[in-house]
Amino acid sequence: MEKTNYKKIPNCLRKYRKARGFKQKEVARLLGIKNTVMISRWETGYYLPDSLNMFKLASIYRVMVDALFIDLSQLLREDYKKKEQNILKSIKDNEN
């Protein structure tokens, strides 16, 4: 089985921040973060916010948490669908 390598975590954080009219500095202030470095890293996909910050961001942007990472969710769904098919094929082959 092939391993999926996500060098950058796909997300819609910047899109939703812009849609709400916030600057990174304002979001950082709302989250209680001293500077915008982490906001930038999350938006560029180099880091993933912890689960509490994901829920905070979803509240700030007024969306569901999965909407923030819909592209990642779709990639994972496709990846696990392939893995599931391989497992089922392997089981079927072993039965024969």
32 occurs within a structural domain: yes
pLDDT in tens, 49-90: 999 999 999 999 999 999 999 998 998 999 999 999 999 988
Q: Please choose, from the candidates 35, 22, 25, the residue with its C-alpha nearest in 3D space to the C-alpha of residue 62.
A: 22
Segment 3-29 mean pLDDT? 89
54 occurs within a structural domain: yes
Which residue range(s) make up the domain with 47?
A: 13-95
70 occurs within a structural domain: yes
Indicate whether 93 pLDDT > 90. no
pLDDT of residue 6: 56
Question: How many structural domains does the chain have?
Answer: 1
6 occurs within a structural domain: no
Q: What is the pTM of this model?
A: 0.78
**Over the chain, what is the mean pLDDT?**
91
